Structures are given as structure tokens and as C-alpha cells.
A and B are shown apart, each in its own frame.
Chain A
Amino acid sequence: QVQLQESGPGLVKPSQTLSLTCTVSGGSISSGGYYWSWIRQHPGKGLEWIGYIYYSGSTYYNPSLKSRVTISVDTSKNQFSLKLSSVTAADTAVYYCARGFGVVIPSFDYWGQGTLVTVSS
């Protein structure tokens, strides 16, 4: 059973960089075939896809966030990470990591429990 777990600071100051890591267990990122994803949910709101990375390092980002987002992968640790720069209060959200499957347009079948990140001074 694949499990994902987010980790990182729960509080980030405005203008700083939000950094989160997702640790995958029960499956290997380097085995390929999946898209390792970040999705966020603003408090009381809907979902917003941030981007995903393939084990090879290829990345795909939401155009609305692309200028501030970097997703990277560390196959040796079976982890992938999110960096979101120049954060504001509007970036306060629950951040989920998830596994995307599917050849053409991936769907997200395994999710982490989510971690709340608050942007505040």
C-alpha cells in the first residue's frame, strides 16, 4: 500500500520561500509510471493543482504558479519536494502531495494527509 507523508514548516513569513517534502513509502518513485504531485486547498475552499514531477525529473506546473514553483525529486530518499517563492497570505492553504497515474492525463489515487501552511509575519 503506497503511503505519502508531507513534512515542513507550518508557518512561513511573507516574501519567504515555502518548502515542503513528501516522503513516499510502499512504492519506489524511481520505478516510473507515476507523476508525483502537489495540490493545495485554501481554507474552506476548493482544490488547486500546483504541479507534478516524473521520476526522470520532468516537471509540469500550473501556469498561474509557474513563476514561483519548483518541484524536485530525490529518488535516493524516495522523496519529492515543493518550493514556492515570494509567498503571501494568499498562499495559506493545506498542501497535499499525491500520486498521479494514467498515460495521457493523470488522476490522483494516493494522497498524503495534508499539511497546513500559514503565511504570516
Chain B
Amino acid sequence: QSALTQPRSVSGSPGQSVTISCTGTSSDVGGYHYVSWYQQHPGKAPKLMIYDVSKRPSGVPDRFSGSKSGNTASLTISGLQAEDEADYYCCSFAGSYVFGTGTKVTVL
């Protein structure tokens, strides 16, 4: 299956909010109540930030929130901080996992 579509980059100033979209199809994002989001700093392993569309693992700040509408999922980072600068990947399922193309978040 094809990768989910994410914007190549988004940016914001500290304290602002940014939203990353993740667009798929009715066979993946739209077909399952399952989307997860991963944060990846350069040279590091991905870190789970959101699972099951909108749930946060223990230890993830509540500045991170997830949602879904139809075939598009979103990750919002509120109160942007310098340490949030990283690549973010969404992930859905369509009989097999499918990841997004990745979005680089830049904190200005």
C-alpha cells in the first residue's frame, strides 16, 4: 500500500500551536480507529507520542493531541517548545502497517 501523505515541513514559534496532517484512504486511516504518531530526533529511534488516534502514552506531555476525521488524521502540538523540533510520522493499518511520509517540525 502507498505511504500516508504528510506535509514535508511545518514550523512555528515557541508557544504557538502547529498541526500535522496525515492523509490516507478509506482502506487505512478512514477504515480503522487506529492511528499512531511517532517523534524522531536525528540519529535516534522513533518515540510513540499518540496511539489509537488520540491516546497519549504515559510520560508524553498533554501538549500533544491527536484526532481523526474521515481519511485524515492530525497531530497538534500546543505550546511548541524547542525540544519538539523533530521528524514526525503517522502510522495507520490496512492489513499491514503503513507509515506516513514524515513531517519535519521546525521551532523558529
How near does chain A come to B94, taking the closest CB pair, in angstroms?
A: 10
Instruction: Assess the A111–B47 pair: CB atoms within 8 A.
Output: yes
Distance of A113 Cα from B46 Cα, bound (Å): 9
**A46-B100, A62-B97 in contact; A109/B48 too (CB < 8 A)?**
yes
Distance in angstroms from A2 CB to nearest chain B CB is 13
Within 8 A of A (CB), among B7-56: 32, 34, 36, 38, 44-48, 51-52
Q: With an 8 A cutoff between CB atoms, is B67 at the interface?
A: no
Assess whether B96 is in contact with A49, with CB atoms less than 8 Å apart: yes
Residues of chain A contacted by B91 (CB below 8 angstroms):
47, 107
A32 contacts across to B, CB distance below 8 A: none
Nearest B residue to A65 via CB reads B96
What class of interface size applies to chain B in its complex with A? 20 to 34
Interface status of B61 (Cβ within 8 A of chain A): no
Query: In the complex, what's the smallest C-beta–C-beta distance from A71 to chain B, in angstroms?
Result: 14
- Tell me, in angstroms, the Cα distance from A22 to B61 when the chains sit together: 29
| Interface size in chain A (residues, C-beta < 8 A) | 18
Query: Roughly how many angstroms separate A62 CA and B99 CA in the complex, as a whole number?
Result: 12
Contacts of A105 in B (CB 8 A): 32, 34, 93
**Alpha-carbon separation in the docked complex, A64 to B94 (Å):** 13
Question: Are A111 and B101 in contact (CB-based, < 8 A)?
Answer: no
Find out whether the CB atom of B45 lies under 8 angstroms from the CB atom of A62. Answer: no
Bound CA span A47–B48, Å: 13
Q: Besides the contacts A46-B101, A108-B36, A111-B45, what 12 more A-B pairs have beta carbons closer than 8 Å?
A: A46-B99, A47-B38, A47-B46, A47-B91, A48-B99, A49-B96, A62-B97, A63-B95, A96-B45, A105-B32, A107-B51, A112-B45
> Residues on A close to B: CB < 8 A?
46-49, 62-64, 96, 102, 104-105, 107-109, 111-114
10 A-B residue pairs with Cβ-Cβ distance under 8 Å, sorted by A, are A47-B46, A49-B96, A63-B95, A63-B96, A64-B96, A107-B91, A108-B46, A109-B48, A111-B46, A113-B45
